[in-house]
Structures are given as C-alpha cells and as structure tokens.
Structure 1
C-alpha cells in the first residue's frame, strides 16, 4: 500500500479488487481521486488515504484481509469523492498483483492469465468477423473477471457496448457464454440484429461462482462503444460522443 501511494502521491483513493482469474489469486489496485460505491464491500483509512476493498467471489482470504475490521459502506464516505457525483479530473493508474501463498508479486504482463484458445463453445460467437476479432483482441490484452456485452440500436445505427466488470446484473442479463475460460454476459440481445449466434446459455437464476449486483449506471465504468457499419466494419466511438448514445437497460 505504501508503494502504491508513494507512486501516486496526489491521489487520495486506492481501490482494491480481489479475484480469482483462471486459477490465479489476483489483486487489482487502482489509484485515483474518486471511489466507486458499487465496488466497496468495506473500507479503511490508511495514512489519510481511503482504501476500499471488494471481492468478486466467495474465496476465503483471511490471510490477506481481516474483513471484520473493515468499515461498512452506507451511502457516503466523508471527505472523499464519490464517482457518481464528481467529475474525473485525473487519470487513474492500475497495478496488478498475484497472491502466491504468503507472497504478493507484481504482475508485469497480465496477458499470461489469458486463455489463449478463446473459442466460445468451440464455435464463433458473432456473425460479424470484424467484431469478433476486435473483442478477441481486447480479451487477450485485458483479462478480467467477466465481460459485459450489450447490444443497442439507435435509429438505423447498430451498436455494441463492451467492458470488463467485477460482477453482473442477475435481473437484467439475457444469457451468457464462455469465450474459452472467460465469461461473457449478454444484455439487450433483442437489439442484436443478425450479429449474435444463438449458442449462448439461456438465463437462469444466477451464474455459478460469479457475483451479481444491481447495475445502476451503465456508463460508469465507461464501456467501449462500437458502431457496426453497413459494410460490416467497426467504428470505435470516442468517449465524448459515446455519452450521447444511451441504451435503456
């Protein structure tokens, strides 16, 4: 924690997300000036900085954190900025660590945690090859607990929204599939048009071993927003334009 705060002396918040990723016990540490209330199981103050803690699973990590000593989040943390009510005025920085027995080791190349044979159910996921290649490349360079893909149509335009997430929304998702070992949760499939192959698993009560919570703001963390052009090519929507594309989930 000292190392992270010394590297980012102007930031007042460190977000810790603990997860299991393809058999590895992983810690994502993000330094910023705001906290995300949806990613807080508990918190504490360390040397004037807010440290938030969130688990994406039910693994016992008592050797790492004493959850009984964490303060419980209610509706606000006095003296620190809530992401939903504050403008982002600095670029967050993230470090990744692997917990191996009693050692915590910095991970320099996260791509080694990727399942390189990313084939969904041994077939392709999307009819649009450009979209499939774009999302495959994203997974290879940004392994995460799970990925959220949302389909949307606005006027005559077809969109796909994509982002890594630490949990999914059980009440809003339409189904899911495994892209290799990576979970992809599907939303808004009625707007998928002819993009999606219907090989995904039909919605059940919950996805085993993965955490769910209600997703209130679908634009934070900001997703990758892609427009599928009429010729099948992909256009990445800049962030400032992406805020004007709103789905109704």
Structure 2
C-alpha cells in the first residue's frame, strides 16, 4: 500500500505545471523591474553571448516587437517576450519549452508596428554567471570589452567618420552595427546605431 501511495505521489508531483519558465533568479529580477515600471505592460528579454560574456538585455516598454520574439509568457499580468541571438543553451535561466509561440496578435498588448508609440523604454543589463546566476551590470566598461583599440580603416574613406564609428563600436558592445546616410535640407547626415537585428528592406 505504501509503495502504491508513493507511486501516486510521484506521478502527481511530476504532472504539476511549473509556475513560470523563469528560474528563481530571473523571476526575482523581473519582479524588481515590474515594481519599478508599473506604467509599462511589456518586458523584452534579449540574450546574447558577446565575446566571453553571456548577457541578458531586459527592456520594459509599452509594446512588443513580433520580429524579436522566440516565445512569450504572461507573468504577473505583464507580457514577457524572449529572443536570443545565438544557439546558447540557457535553459537554467529560462526554459523555452514553457514559452508560447507567437502566432499573431497577442490580446490586450500592443504590437509596436500597429500603433504609434512615444516613450522612453527602460533597459537593464545582466550577466549570466556559471550558467544559472544573474548579476546586474551597471556599466558595460566593467565587463572589460574591447580591450584593444579598434583601428579598422579599410571601409570608410573619411578618417573622421571612421574614427567616430570605431569609437562607437568600442563603447557600445552589440550584435551588429548600422551606418546609414541621409540628406535633409541639403545637409548630409551619418546615422550610427547598434542593434540585435537588421531590416533587409532598408539595404541595397
């Protein structure tokens, strides 16, 4: 009888659903961000391994970006979206098997491409340590990125613009960088930004 009861107990506990896909450390971080940003309904988590650092860029805002989403989950009435720029296994931090797949509009939340939004999103940076612990990064320079000065000069002929671009890459560690040129009112501008994805329709 005891063996039967034990077997039933094991079966029952193995079928209990997880509270969320998030590890206790990530749930604690999300709880803190939710407390700080009551007016935002969406939190975007982007994971990237840059040089030797495994990082989580966590941004709170009013809407979600369907192009930057491997899956999502509703946590404490907030929409949490997740996207990673590589194939690193981060299951100890977020179990993607428990995320919902995006299959169209998410009810009660705003798609940033369907509504004009003016806001200042809040971003937080965390590093994953030993595969399961999170530590906040208040200053990217503390990570020791770009220890050697960037000196590439084989693409942009203008030395001043080349130096500006190199300085930008040195101080903004990201997956990719975008350099665009624009003419307005007979004035020429160079636009530089870092990002996690590019829009192929904007490139010749």
CA 128–216 in structure 1, closer or farther in 2 if over 3 Å, else same: closer
The count of corresponding residues between Structure 1 and Structure 2 is 173
Q: Residue 20 of structure 1 aligns with which residue?
A: 49
Q: Residue 161 of structure 2 aligns with which residue?
A: 131
Shift of 1:22: 1.0
Deviations 1:185-220 (A, max 9, x none): xxxxxxxxxxxxxxxxxxxxxxxxxxxxxx2675xx
**In 2, are the aligned partners of 1:111 and 1:140 still within 8 Å (CA)?**
no
- Cα distance in 1 between the residues matched to 2:151 and 2:46: 26
Structure 2: tracts of 5 or more residues without a match: 1-29
Deviations 1:221-248 (A, max 9, x none): xxxxxxxxxxxxxxxxxxxxxxxxxxx7
Q: Residue 108 of structure 1 aligns with which residue?
A: 138
1:119 aligns with 2:150: yes
Q: Secondary structure, in 3 states, of the residue corresponding to 1:3?
A: helix
1:73 aligns with 2:130: no
CA 118–151 in structure 1, closer or farther in 2 if over 3 Å, else same: farther
Coordinate RMSD, CA, aligned = 2.4
- TM-score, normalised via structure 1 length: 0.62
Structure 1: tracts of 5 or more residues without a match: 169-214, 219-247
Larger Rg: 2
- Cα distance in 2 between the residues matched to 1:141 and 1:96: 15
Q: Residue 194 of structure 2 aligns with which residue?
A: 164
- Cα distance in 2 between the residues matched to 1:150 and 1:124: 17
- Cα distance in 1 between the residues matched to 2:157 and 2:49: 31
CA 132–216 in structure 1, closer or farther in 2 if over 3 Å, else same: closer
Shift of 1:154: 7.9
Q: Residue 54 of structure 1 aligns with which residue?
A: 83
Q: Residue 118 of structure 2 aligns with which residue?
A: 89
